[in-house]
Amino acid sequence: MFPQNAWYVAAAVAEIDGRPLGRTICGERMVFYRNERGEATALEDFCPHRGAPLSLGRVCDGRLVCGYHGLVMGCDGQAVSIPAHSVERFPAIGRWPCVERHGFIWVWPGDPAQADVQAIPAFEWSGNPGWAYGGGLYHMACDYRLLIDNLMDLTHETYVHAGSIGQPEIDETPCKTRREGDTVITERHMVGIQAPPFWQMAMRENGMDPAQRVDRWQICRYSPPSHVMIDVGVAIAGQGGWQAADACKTAATVVDFITPETRTSTWYFWGMARQFKPDDAELTARIREGQGRIFAEDREMLERQQSNLAHWPQRRLMNLPIDAGGVHARRVIDRWLAAQTAIGPHDAPASD
Amino acid sequence: MFPQNAWYVAAAVAEIDGRPLGRTICGERMVFYRNERGEATALEDFCPHRGAPLSLGRVCDGRLVCGYHGLVMGCDGQAVSIPAHSVERFPAIGRWPCVERHGFIWVWPGDPAQADVQAIPAFEWSGNPGWAYGGGLYHMACDYRLLIDNLMDLTHETYVHAGSIGQPEIDETPCKTRREGDTVITERHMVGIQAPPFWQMAMRENGMDPAQRVDRWQICRYSPPSHVMIDVGVAIAGQGGWQAADACKTAATVVDFITPETRTSTWYFWGMARQFKPDDAELTARIREGQGRIFAEDREMLERQQSNLAHWPQRRLMNLPIDAGGVHARRVIDRWLAAQTAIGPHDAPASD
Amino acid sequence: MFPQNAWYVAAAVAEIDGRPLGRTICGERMVFYRNERGEATALEDFCPHRGAPLSLGRVCDGRLVCGYHGLVMGCDGQAVSIPAHSVERFPAIGRWPCVERHGFIWVWPGDPAQADVQAIPAFEWSGNPGWAYGGGLYHMACDYRLLIDNLMDLTHETYVHAGSIGQPEIDETPCKTRREGDTVITERHMVGIQAPPFWQMAMRENGMDPAQRVDRWQICRYSPPSHVMIDVGVAIAGQGGWQAADACKTAATVVDFITPETRTSTWYFWGMARQFKPDDAELTARIREGQGRIFAEDREMLERQQSNLAHWPQRRLMNLPIDAGGVHARRVIDRWLAAQTAIGPHDAPASD
């Protein structure tokens, strides 16, 4: 299961441009749109009149209008009007704390009283003209934790992504895992290696000689409920690795927002933020395309891993040092699950 | 659930031209074909020999021949022969009262003893050279009652069919609902309005000036189990509306035969009968195409409404005056359900 | 259910050329590949590290390498290594007796201790330069026994395959069924008939006049668990039928290996071995294409028969003399099921 009292990425901002978006988050059917004040809003995707999904309607002057019979819904979940009739006795529908940050719509699917927008993490790349960001969204038929495992253990790159970012040196270099509060950090530093194809491309774009020996790093940071930021890059060998001067390195952050749809399906918001050539939109598009291809390679593996685990529910998995990142992340999740009194809008309808 | 002791439309006559048709009606797997006397016939779609669906076979001299091993089935559900063997001890399969009327095959999925062909409604447009009829069949993944609700409350046209038959005046004009026995009638009369696109097209075809102000009417008639006939049309404003002389109006009947397939899926036979230019086959085709496009707009709404109601089974819906037609129709259905002792051919195999 | 202590065909040999093959056999998720000694090997398709399917990996020097994190699996189901870590405490995964015979990979999904490769049947056409073999694989959504019924009663050819191998004389000629131990034999001999289209083609290819009257035979041999070999052919009328001299007959064996995937789905390895023009590869391809088309005609019938039997689980089917082959085969299966103590690798993990 998933922590409900937590902030999740629900959508990219462009997805609610001018029209409502229906999406299930943590098992809740939600509709997202901008209200009268332009604020991102999350309501239950259920018209209290006849049960139609509000996401099939439209947004009119910041109010959601049901596409079936024209009920006008307020951003507090209380019906405002319906043509020619009173909505006085209409029950409110659920609403969830929702906010726009970093180019995404964030939602808190749990107890609204506990939501604190300060808890949404800050990112150096967000709104920073020195950085460029590009990314996409995949739907994966697996438990969100399998995706966290995947991203907190990059040895899989050697096997799953052999043609792009994988290389034997990943396997050969031990990783170190530590915890800082609820953050789990796994890092690996490869020294004096040949850059793999993806990084040779990036070096070339960044004006570096791709044939040079490099130091390569991967610093994965999990933070709850399910965000994984990975500092990645290569620097000319011997110049300090990830701490090398900008002139002799090519660096980026892999951005992974992992949002449970149901117990066995996940919305995967992936992207890359980079500090080199931030104004080159064509390069952003090219990187996004390459990253999209790479991350699609994980999908079959994760979905069939999910299927295997469902087929053999009693089997215990092995936890090796390479799995420590995922293991620690799951412990954080388990603590969050234990701490929360699971209250969704279902069970405790919002009252005004 | 659905009344079983009732007449439903199972197919258009053309669907059984020369070949058997397999179709599930009210949860019963049926095969339809014409027997030796050319009569529409409904049997269980199950060969008593090895369980093959008889609908994969063919009709030979008015007898259904199983496509697996050649069993010849009689229209009473009793096997007639199978090559080289005796069928003496073969159990009969179920059969249902079945009759051809108004260009459709009608079936009674309940107790045969209670079936009365006189109970099949008559229609002015049926077999009448002054009328033309065109229509089609949609499969909808929803409870048949959601479709009745939809057709007994045409305010949805303003939202779902904004580009064709919807217009704000529908919302603004109250409807009146009344019952006459088991028939439920909901009517709305709009006065001195501009015709919407579909009706402008129809006026033009009928030799009227589409820019003229009109009175528009919608008279929905539900009759059990699930037929909805809607008298619709426009007349030059002030000439008496639906009672205006033929020369100054364009009128038609929307024909809706709604047949449950299962509890959550429905066969929707839709069509339009019109009194103007009945011999213009090209116009019939054009209207059918337009109507098909309009009715397809309802499908996503109804299927997702069904999904929402299944997701939130405890939620009560709101019944407004606009919903009165559907509410009354559901009461009639509930009375029919209570009245019938549910006996299907399953439970009480037909005996001779 | 299916006998587990039995040999089934799991794959054609070409399917494991250079890469592992994942396939479910008798409910067990298996991966097939060639080990270090080139031997066909069947293991559970489950990496003991994190549950990934091993079939998504690759074969490297005869060892299966997991495509997720590089675990190297031994052909005894015991992990050999994983980069940079010890696999000492990794549990073994299940393995099953597996062997290559007759161009196929055979597997024994039951108790390994009872597996005897001598029990795999011999076939005259296998490895015999006087014969040619061609065939294919179909996935059928039905109980494997429906396919045995189908093949042990060829009267269905008259109806299902009217355009190729069916003819009325099949129905008109009684068949005889007998048992020889666990083998069930059903045979039919048609005398002085016109050959149907498929056999006219074969006669032409074999240098015979297709217009001649022929004697035609069908000798179906079921052997457990679910193999059906059918000797088929035509000889110039009056020359002894299937015992006629080679010069005046055209003969072949229809090869059917029927392997349960689950209770309601089946792998169907079909093919034809022939004694005429064995070196004509183009003819082999043509026959395979024709046979594939014919056997595809059975698929819809069998899948919808399966659906009907699931819909009416209480109904008893009729057993006619034409069904005797299937009835006897089912009795053999029932005896095998009763005899075996069902032990799969699930329940009793293989120990060394």
ipTM for the predicted complex: 0.91
User: What letter would DSSP give residue A168?
Assistant: H
CA torsion sign, C306 to C307 to C308 to C309?
A: positive
The verdict on A54 and A169 lying in the same domain is no
Residues C174 and C150 in one domain: yes
Q: Quick one: pLDDT at residue B42?
A: 98
Q: How far is CA A289 from the centre of its chain?
A: 18
Give the CATH number for residue B255: 3.90.380.10
Say yes or no: B250 contacts chain A, CB-CB below 8 A: no
The reply to whether A256 falls in a domain is yes
To test the contact with chain B by mutation, choose from A45, A49, A50 the residue with the greatest count of B C-beta atoms within 10 A, namely A50
Chain B interface disruption, residue of C169, C320, C323, most B CBs within 10 A:
C320
Q: How far is CA B244 from CA B169, B210, B221, B234, B274, in A?
A: 20, 17, 20, 9, 16
Judged by a CB distance cut-off of 8 A, whether residue C70 touches chain A is yes
Do B135 and B272 form a contact (C-beta atoms < 8 A)? yes
Cβ distance of C49 and A159 shorter than 8 Å: no
At residue B168, the pLDDT reads: 87
Contact across the interface for C172 and B84, Cβ inside 8 Å = yes
- How many C-beta neighbours within 10 Å does residue B243 have? 10
Cα–Cα dist B132/B278, whole Å = 5
Among the candidates B68, B91, B119, a domain finishes at B119
pLDDT in tens, A45-98: 999 999 999 999 999 999 999 999 999 999 999 999 999 889 999 999 999 999
- Is the CB of A52 less than 8 angstroms away from the CB of B321? no
CA distances in angstroms from B238 to B231, B245, B275, listed in the order given: 19, 11, 21
Residue C350, domain member (yes or no): no
CB–CB contact B29 C311 (8 Å): yes
Q: How many domains does chain C have?
A: 2
Query: Which of A46, A68, A78, A347 to substitute to test the interface with B, most B CBs within 10 Å?
Result: A68
The amino acid occupying position A219 is I
Do B234 and B175 belong together in one domain? yes
Q: B81 contacts in C (CB within 8 Å)?
A: none
In this prediction, the residues of chain A whose per-residue pLDDT falls under 70 are: 341-352
What's the pLDDT score for residue B350?
Answer: 37
* Mean pLDDT, 10 residues at a time, chain B of 352 residues: 95 96 98 97 98 97 95 97 91 97 97 95 94 97 97 91 88 93 96 94 94 96 97 96 94 97 98 94 94 93 97 94 94 92 44 33
Chains contacting C (3+ CB pairs below 8 angstroms): A, B
What is the rounded distance in angstroms from the CA atom of residue C30 to the CA atom of residue C299? 25
A264 min Cα distance to partner chain B (Å): 17
- CB contact under 8 Å between C69 and A315, yes or no, is no
Task: Inspect the interface and report whether the beta carbons of C159 and B29 lie closer than 8 Å.
Answer: no
- A302 and C51 in contact (C-beta within 8 Å)? no
**Which domain-ending residue is among C95, C119, C143?**
C119
Residue C285: burial class (beta carbons within 10 Å; 0-12, 13-18, 19+): exposed
Q: Angle C330-C331-C333 (CA atoms, 0-180°, nearest 5)? A: 60
Does C297 lie at the interface with B, CB-CB under 8 angstroms? no
Query: How many residues does this entry show for chain B?
Result: 352
On whether both C31 and C137 belong to a single domain, the answer is no
The alpha-carbon gap from B305 to the nearest alpha carbon of chain A, in Å, equals 5
Quick check: is C347 in a domain? no
The verdict on a CB contact (< 8 Å) between A70 and B153 is: no
C175 and C101 inside one domain: no
B115 with B148, same domain?
no
Percent of chain C residues topping a pLDDT of 90: 88
Could you tell me if C23 and C9 are in contact, meaning their C-beta atoms sit under 8 angstroms apart?
no
Asked if B50 is an interface residue toward chain C (Cβ–Cβ < 8 A), one would say: yes
What SS3 state is found at A69?
coil
Q: What is the CATH number of the domain that holds A72?
A: 2.102.10.10
Q: For residue C343, what pLDDT is reported? A: 47
pLDDT surpassing 60 at residue C88: yes
Residue A195 lies in a domain: yes
pTM of the model: 0.92
Of the candidates A170, A178, A206, the residue with the CA atom closest to the CA atom of residue A329: A178
Of B158, B300, B315, the CB nearest to A70: B158
Asked if C323 reaches chain B (Cβ–Cβ under 8 Å), the answer is: yes
Q: By the CB < 8 Å criterion, does C143 face chain B? A: no
Domain boundary at A63, A92, A119, which? Answer: A119
C184: nearest Cα among C223, C153, C217, C154: C223
pLDDT at res. C57 = 96
Chain A contact present for B171, CB below 8 A? yes
CB pairs under 8 A between A and C: 68
Does residue C341 surpass a pLDDT of 90?
Answer: no
- Subunit contact C51:A309, Cβ cutoff 8 A: yes
Inspect the interface and report whether the beta carbons of C67 and A301 lie closer than 8 Å.
yes
Query: Which candidate from C45, C67, C90 shows the least CB-CB separation from A159?
Result: C67
pLDDT, average across residues C142-170: 92
Examine residue A2 and state whether it is found in any structural domain, yes or no.
Answer: no
**Are residues C194 and C114 both part of a single domain?**
no
The two tokens of residue C157 are 């050819």
- In this prediction, residues C177-191 reach a mean pLDDT of 96
Strand partners, A269: A137, A257
pLDDT the model gives residue C346: 45
Say if C309 is an interface residue toward chain B (CB within 8 Å).
Answer: yes
| C176/C109 same-domain check | no
Mutate to test the interface with C, among B28, B30, B50, B346 (most CBs of C within 10 A): B50
- The whole-angstrom distance between B179's CA and the closest CA on chain C is 40
- What number is the average pLDDT over the span C237-255? 95
Q: What are the strands, taking DSSP E only, across chain C?
A: 8-12, 21-25, 28-34, 40-44, 58-60, 63-65, 72-73, 79-81, 95-96, 98-101, 104-107, 132-140, 176-180, 183-194, 213-223, 227-236, 249-262, 265-274
Q: B277 and B159 in one domain?
A: yes
* DSSP state for residue A351 in the 8-state scheme: -
pLDDT tens, residue by residue, A245-288: 999 999 999 999 999 999 999 999 999 999 899 999 999 999 99
Kind and range of the H or E element at A293? helix A281-311
Interface test with A, best of C49, C50, C55 (most A CBs within 10 A): C50
> Do C112 and C210 lie in a common domain?
no
Residue of B nearest to C309 (CA): B51
* pLDDT of B341: 57
CB contact under 8 A, A317 and C45: no
Question: Of the candidates A156, A307, A315, which has its C-beta nearest C68's C-beta?
Answer: A156
Q: Does residue A231 lie within any of the structural domains?
A: yes
- For residue C109, the distance in angstroms to the closest alpha carbon of chain A comes to 17
Same domain, C175 and C260: yes
Please count the residue pairs, one from chain A and one from chain B, whose beta carbons lie less than 8 angstroms apart. 68
Residue A145 belongs to what domain range? 132-339
Reduced DSSP (H G I as helix, E B as strand, rest coil) percent helix, strand, coil of chain B, to 5 = 30, 35, 40
Residues 6+ apart with CB under 8 A from C163: C197
Averaged pLDDT score across all residues of chain C = 93
Contacts of C46 in chain A (CB under 8 A): 308, 312, 315
Chain-centroid distance, C-alpha A27: 16
Closest residue, chain C, to A146 (C-alpha): C50
On whether both B137 and B279 belong to a single domain, the answer is: yes
| Any domain includes C348 | no
Best residue of B150, B151, B157, B159 to probe chain A, by most A CBs closer than 10 Å: B159
Is B155's CB within 8 Å of A70's CB? yes
Instruction: Answer yes or no: are the C-beta atoms of B295 and B268 closer than 8 Å.
Output: yes
* Residue A90 belongs to some domain of the structure: yes
C345 and A CB contact within 8 Å: no
Q: Contacts of residue A153 in chain C, CB cutoff 8 Å?
A: 69
C51: nearest CA partner in chain A: A305
- How many other CB atoms are found less than 10 A from the CB of residue A37? 8
